Amino acid sequence: MNDRAPQQTRGGSAGSQRKVFGRRSADPLICMCNEVPKSAIDAAMRNGATTLAEIFDQTFAGCGPCGGSCQPELVQLLSDHLRRCQGQ
């Protein structure tokens, strides 16, 4: 069974439009432009990413053609991760 279903169409001209897919699983897409799931963001943080720039470098999330509309969610995920790390 396919866990992805069409969500919306994004893009400029009719010729350049592409389908963007949402996920109905426990691994939602955080960055729609570059199709980066939450699991990739989590892995980058486990691998030592402690800044947005390091997440961008490891995953390409937050630096798509939309101009970074997922950056607020990335900041929240990073803040939560760093807070958990400090509590250990």
pLDDT at 18 over 80: no
Domain that holds residue 79: 28-87
| pLDDT confidence band for 26 (50 / 70 / 90) | confident
pLDDT at 6 over 70: no
- Domain membership of residue 11 (yes or no) is no
- Domain membership of residue 33 (yes or no) is yes
> Which CATH number fits the domain that encloses residue 36?
1.10.10.1100
What's the mean pLDDT in 58-79? 94
Q: Which residue has the higher pLDDT, 35 or 4?
A: 35
- Domain membership of residue 71 (yes or no) is yes
What's the mean pLDDT in 1-22? 38
- Domain membership of residue 46 (yes or no) is yes
* pLDDT score for 13: 31
Reading phi first (left if > 0) and then psi (alpha if -120 to 50, else beta), residue 18 is in beta
Residue type, 6: P
- Domain membership of residue 14 (yes or no) is no
Domain count, the chain: 1
- Domain membership of residue 1 (yes or no) is no
